Chain A
Amino acid sequence: MNIAASILEIAVIGLGIAVMLADLWLPREKKIWLGYAAAAGLALILFGSFSMSGNPATLAFGDMYILDAFALFFKRFFLIAAILVMIVSIEYSPKFQTGKGEYFTLVLFALAGMMFSASANHFALLFVSMELMTITFYVLTSFLRNQLLSLEAGIKYLILGALSSGFLVYGIALVYGTTSTMDFATLREKSALMTDNPLLLVGLLMIIGGLGFKIAAFPFQFWAPDVYQGSPSSTTAFLAVGSKAAGFALLMRLLFVAVPEITLQWEKLLMVIAGITILYGNLCALPQRNLKRLLGYSSIANAGYLMMGIAAMSASGSTAILYYLYSYMFTVIAAFLIIILVMKHTGAEDIVHLAKLHERAPGLAGVMTLSMVSLAGIPPLAGFFGKFLLFEAVIEQATVQSSYYLLAAVAIVGVVISLYYYFGVIRTIYWGKQQMIPEDIQISPASKAALWVCSVVIIYLGIMPERLMQAATAAVESLKF
């Protein structure tokens, strides 16, 4: 046993319990400080993670837990995401009538689940960490319990999530039944000899279904728009960034480390999933009037772009995924933070509420424009470079297998469609008609800092991608392509 390898997760869980206990003794009006304390604690843990190295890989808990460059890359990703989400939650927390401290605690526990899932090298750990994340999200989505939409989101996420977990477990059982192992390293050897065993393939397909639910890929995407719209905006931001990234981390480790030989047979399947997800997300986003719902469909489309990197089945494809996730995180969190700041007192988050934002708060309008432009993939921002890398990885494969050209073409169509609705948001900001008396927008220093960080990183990653590219390339090396 090597407990030191999982020190980051232990620290996060410890922080969660500390926040929960501190919540007991703090008077009501001071609970907001718990959020700041949690964010500061996470920053410390993130800082500490740089003293760890994933090279060479450390195995712990009977080879169940692996700490390699890939896992460490994702752990830092989740930590950064959680720090930003914590600031978003503080901004949102006046809407909670009760349980501010518990909200921060639950965010930390969900983070622990994500970080464990990045290190999963065994189906048991994969399932348990996934459930820790998902079950925490059931509570986080229905946190506004006096609002019908939030409860509806919670119930929908609970029922569909439970169903997908059922498929995941059944798939794991079938894989265990055919190979008699749940360990990824052993599975790698055994599955290479059983590439045409139908029961093993069915089991793996079910596992992909279970993970596909988490990343909201077609045909497991039905929950996304409703849940994104109904849940508290801070939860939605965490769901869009963290849950999706955890799903991709697990999917990549499963497909490329545990069953690489079988994955090679599935290029068509992965391409079809990627293509349909892109088209579905982008086409359904077109008529949306609600900003959170729009971002929900956009997150489906982005899952499709990310699936392109999986379908490319190459080191460059996986590097592109890691890069893209970073650019997606900063743009989406910036967008949700602005939604919360601008629409504090409006009931629904309709796009029209953004009208004439540039007169009320030019800074916010600028950041929102930046994030929409980055999501649309316009150079020189981070989103452009991420999409560029994904397209490059797909085109690279097209020289071997020409059907990849078709996937690239579909993705380009998707990007063109997405220009329409992303620019629709920008058009509303600058030229939209104001419908009601505008409310004052007050920005706390922490939110201001978070917005600054997000916008600087969006520009920085687009202009100087080398540093992150190096880290992503090093991380992907541990996937053994």
Chain B
Amino acid sequence: MEALLFYIFSALTLVCGFLVVANPLTRNPVTSAMFLVLTIISMAGLFVLLNAFFLAAVQIMVYAGAVIVLFLFVIMLLDIHEVEKQPVNYFSVTVGMLALLSIGGVLIKAIVTSGVGDGLEAVTVGSTKKLGLSLFTDYVLPFEIMGVLLLVGMIGVILLSKKTLR
């Protein structure tokens, strides 16, 4: 059952992820953003299968909810017809595909030949309680640095988007 769900969710992630960047039917950015939502939701499914319930919930609430809404706002504020009219740059598509294939090839070969997961024990670390505990004990330093990072983000956004320069 778990294996079946894993294959369903990972196939969905891959297909939707592909449709975000290269949709053969339409080049409308809004469609891409909606497929991004689907990608994120199916990734949340993968997190659930890994017992990382908190991460799954955060994935849906923060990414599928808040972040994508912001994306959509930005897309709708810009002129999307401009984007649709732009010709496809075949050079960058080819180079991108080459890079993708070579990195993918190396990764797949590495995964096949290395015997992934041999000798590892299954550990459940994803529950909310455990996550909270380790965030505030073992990982307290990175956690605090993230606080500074958020402050930097806020300063940056205000500075770069403030309407009047004074």
CB distance from A136 to the nearest CB of B (A): 5
* Chain B residue contacts of A131, Cβ below 8 A: 149
Choose from B148, B155, B156 the contact partner of A132 (Cβ within 8 Å). B148
Residue of B nearest to A3 (CB): B141
Q: Which of A102-110, A412-420, A448-456 contacts B (4 or more CB under 8 A)?
A: A102-110
Cβ–Cβ < 8 Å partners of B146 in chain A: 128
Query: Which listed residue, B120, B156, B162, B165, touches A138 by the CB 8 Å rule?
Result: B156
Are the CB atoms of B145 and A178 closer together than 8 Å? no
Main secondary structure, interface of A, reads: helix
A105-B155, A139-B155, A145-B160 are contacts. A116–B165 as well, Cβ < 8 Å?
Answer: no
Q: Given contacts A61-B141, A132-B152, A142-B160, is CB(A201)–CB(B110) below 8 Å?
A: yes
Judge whether A202 is part of the interface by a CB distance below 8 angstroms: yes
Q: Which residues of A contact B142 (CB under 8 A)?
A: 64, 124-125, 127-128
Interface contact A129-B160, CB-CB below 8 Å: no
Interface residues in B117-166 by Cβ distance below 8 A to A read 117, 120, 137-142, 145-146, 148-149, 151-153, 155-156, 159-160, 162, 165-166
A residues 127-167 near B (Cβ < 8 Å) are 127-129, 131-132, 135-136, 138-139, 142-143, 145-146
What CA separation (Å) do A105 and B138 show in the bound complex? 29
- A146: which B residues are within 8 A, CB to CB? 165
B85 within 8 A of A: no
Contact with B along A2-21 (1 / 0, CB 8 A): 00001000000100000010
For the complex, is B113 an interface residue (Cβ under 8 Å from A)?
yes
| B148 close to A109 (CB less than 8 A) | yes
Binary per-residue interface labels of chain A (37-60) against chain B in the complex, 1 for a CB within 8 Å, 0 otherwise: 000000000000000000000001
A106 touching B120, Cβ below 8 Å: no
Q: A102 to B141, alpha carbons, bound, how many Å?
A: 24
Quick one: CB contact mask for B64-80 with A, threshold 8 Å, 1 for yes?
A: 00000000000000000
Bound CA–CA A112/B111 (angstroms): 37
Is B81 interfacial (CB-CB < 8 Å)?
no
B114 to A139, Cβ gap below 8 A? no
Known: A61-B141, A98-B162. A199 touches B149 (CB 8 A): no
- A180 close to B (CB within 8 Å): yes
Assess A199 versus B141: contact at CB under 8 Å? Given A98-B162, A135-B153: no
B residues within 8 A CB of A99?
Answer: 159
Residue A94 is within 8 A (CB to CB) of chain B in the complex: no
Greatest chain A CB density within 10 A among B111, B145, B153, B165 is at B145
Does B107 contact A202, Cβ atoms closer than 8 Å? yes
**Is residue A65 within 8 Å, beta carbon to beta carbon, of the partner chain?**
yes
Within 8 Å CB of A438, what residues of B? Answer: none
Q: Which residues of B contact A102 (CB under 8 A)?
A: 155, 159
Name which residue of chain A comes closest to B157, CB basis: A139
Which B residues touch A127, using CB under 8 A?
A: 142
Q: Is A197 an interface residue (CB 8 A)?
A: yes
A106 to B157, CA, bound (A): 12
Whether the Cβ atoms of A13 and B152 lie closer than 8 Å is no
Q: Assess the B145–A128 pair: CB atoms within 8 A.
A: yes
Which residues of the other chain, A, contact B120 by a CB distance below 8 angstroms? 180
* Contact for A97 among B116, B155, B165, CB less than 8 A: B165
Contact across chains for A136 and B162 when beta carbons are under 8 A apart = no
**Chain B residue at smallest Cβ distance from A16:** B148
Contacts of B110 in A (CB 8 A): 198-199, 201-202
A109-B145 contact in complex given A177-B116, A198-B113, C-beta closer than 8 Å: no
B107 contacts across to A, CB distance below 8 A = 202
18 example contacts (A-B, Cβ-Cβ < 8 A) are as follows A60-B141, A64-B138, A97-B165, A97-B166, A105-B155, A109-B151, A113-B145, A128-B145, A132-B148, A132-B149, A135-B152, A142-B160, A145-B160, A198-B110, A198-B113, A200-B114, A201-B110, A202-B110
- Enumerate chain B interface residues (CB-CB to A < 8 A): 106-107, 109-111, 113-114, 116-117, 120, 137-142, 145-146, 148-149, 151-153, 155-156, 159-160, 162, 165-166
Given contacts A61-B141, A64-B139, A198-B114, 9 further A-B contacts (CB under 8 A): A1-B140, A64-B138, A129-B145, A131-B149, A136-B152, A139-B160, A142-B160, A200-B114, A201-B110
> Which residues from chain A sit less than 8 Å from chain B, CB to CB?
1, 6, 13, 20, 60-62, 64-65, 97-99, 102, 105-106, 109, 112-113, 116, 124-125, 127-129, 131-132, 135-136, 138-139, 142-143, 145-146, 177-178, 180, 197-202
Q: Which 7 A-B pairs have the closest CB atoms?
A: A139-B156, A198-B110, A199-B114, A128-B142, A61-B141, A97-B165, A202-B110
